[in-house]
Amino acid sequence: MRDHWLVSAALALMVCRGSLFAATPLALHPENPHYFVWRGRPTVLIGSGEHYGAVLNLDFDYRKYLDTLARDGLNHTRTLSGVYCEPPGAFNIARNTLAPAPGRLICPWARSDQPGYRNGGNKFDLTRWDPDYFARLKDFLARAAERGVVVELNLFCPFYEEAMWQLSPMNAINNINGVGAVARTNVYTLDRHGGLLPFQEALVRKFVTELKDFDNLYYEICNEPYFGGVSMAWQHRIADVIVETQKAVGARQLISMNIANERAKVENPHPAISIFNFHYAYPPDAVAMNYGLNKVIGDNETGFRGTNDGPYRVEAWSFLLAGGALFSHLDYSFAVGFEDGTFVYPASQPGGGNAVFRRQMRVLREFLESLDFVRMRPAPEVLVGGVPPGHRAYVLAEPGRAYALYLGRDPRDKAAPTGPVQATLLLRPPPGTYTAEWIQPRTGQVEKRETVRAVGEPTSLASPPFEEDVALRLRIR
């Protein structure tokens, strides 16, 4: 039996801590809404986090996990709300944090006194909240806030397979309320939901009300809604409920929508959406396709490109140097018992992640923060030639003052040359004298520094030899 006195005391302490940050929640930067402002500073969000079960899996030590993210210099994580979880073995993931052991799922709804939940314990009562769940969630958010970590709370998720729907508290077999006797593809609709919509709306209102004082939080309506029958009308209705409740309780957290895998053009966006997220977004075409929205474009899930670091590092640098403001890697080195990110997963794992990769993401964050990036924009026109075959390059520019360039081997191009490469790039910055620094993305080491004089014609810059990628920082002297 859980100690309710300790839970209540911890909750009171965490809410007190969280309220210290409540005045200025994460927002779009007023001067450049392609980026964030947080705690008074222009911000990009970069994470390499566990598979979204930190709160809903009672066996996961999120304190150690958040300490690891902070130690590694990362500032973003995703977590699912608990209305969705997975069976062991889903997607061939070893030690999946989204697959709690029997009886170890905690979710917003309280357990009833009737046995029969498919993964151990009693069924759920969708008319009652579980105070222990909200204490755990608030503690997670407060500890993340103290460590400078922004949390994406993913409210809903489609049911990719019947085995996942069989585990949801919304399924009629798992609740005592007589709702949810529908196909898994009808759960998130306005007309075929089997009585679930009022409970979903009530859940959203509960979250927005309970979490109104946290500055390090934004809501994503639904993870990968393009699978499993999630209707756009339903997503817009959930966005409306968030906005209505925020107005009622005085909350201001941002709202995110997950658009597509890889790329898509956003059409007729809901006006309350501030973050448009994509998965597996390499090459980062989604940024250019949607830059005109004047909102943040993010890449908040990676995977299915092997377990090595290279493809995901290239994805991260490419996406952010193309003008994105959020990158969150799915890091399978976090598991129950390995919350410090040291789990050595099998080669069959559908993605990567490790301490070395997290340090590489810190290099990326520090590179961007070394620039006044909120004054920069994508500037492909500055690079006029010299990209080696099998490589792609991306440029951000504060015209006449600073330029950031990333050149990476395209991990999808099987014909790309292997071994060391040296590039001679042709750039056309405005006339002036610049300091050029070539940086190794794996380590952050400056491998070459030189003075460059631009006179209005294409200027030649020779990179040092590199294996997979190299970055260039060019600043006016």
Q: What's the pLDDT band for 368 if we cut at 50, 70, 90?
A: very high
pLDDT per position as a tens digit, 427-454? 999 999 999 999 999 999 999 999 999 9
Q: Residue 261 and residue 469: Cα distance in Å, rounded?
A: 24
Are 146 and 62 in contact by the 8 Å Cβ rule? The answer is: no
The answer on pLDDT for 232 being more than 80 is yes
Give CA separation, 398 vs 100, 165, 374, 376, in Å. Answer: 48, 49, 9, 4
Q: Residue 79 and residue 69: Cα distance in Å, rounded?
A: 14
204: left (phi over 0), alpha (psi -120 to 50) or beta: alpha
- As a CATH number, domain 4-374 is 3.20.20.80
Q: Where are the alpha helices (DSSP H) in 100-179?
A: 131-146, 162-165
39: left (phi over 0), alpha (psi -120 to 50) or beta: left
How many Å separate Cα 467 from the centre of its chain? Answer: 28
pLDDT per position as a tens digit, 106-145? 999 999 999 999 999 999 999 999 999 999 999 999 999 9
- Residues 288-293 have a mean pLDDT of 98
Q: Domain 379-476: which topology?
A: Immunoglobulin-like (2.60.40)
Q: What's the pLDDT band for 10 if we cut at 50, 70, 90?
A: very low
As given in the structure block, the two tokens for residue 273 are 């959406």
Residue 363 half-sphere exposure toward CB, CA atoms < 13 A: 20
Domain ranges of the chain: 4-374, 379-476
Q: What pTM was computed for the model?
A: 0.95
Closest CA to 197 of 235, 248, 154: 235
The answer on pLDDT for 14 being more than 70 is no
pLDDT of residue 23: 63
pLDDT of residue 305: 96
Q: What's the pLDDT band for 414 if we cut at 50, 70, 90?
A: confident
The phi and psi torsions of 178 (rounded to 5 degrees) equal 70, 25
Top mean pLDDT of 20-24, 230-234, 419-423 is at 230-234
Instruction: Provide the percentage of residues in the chain whose pLDDT is more than 90.
Output: 93
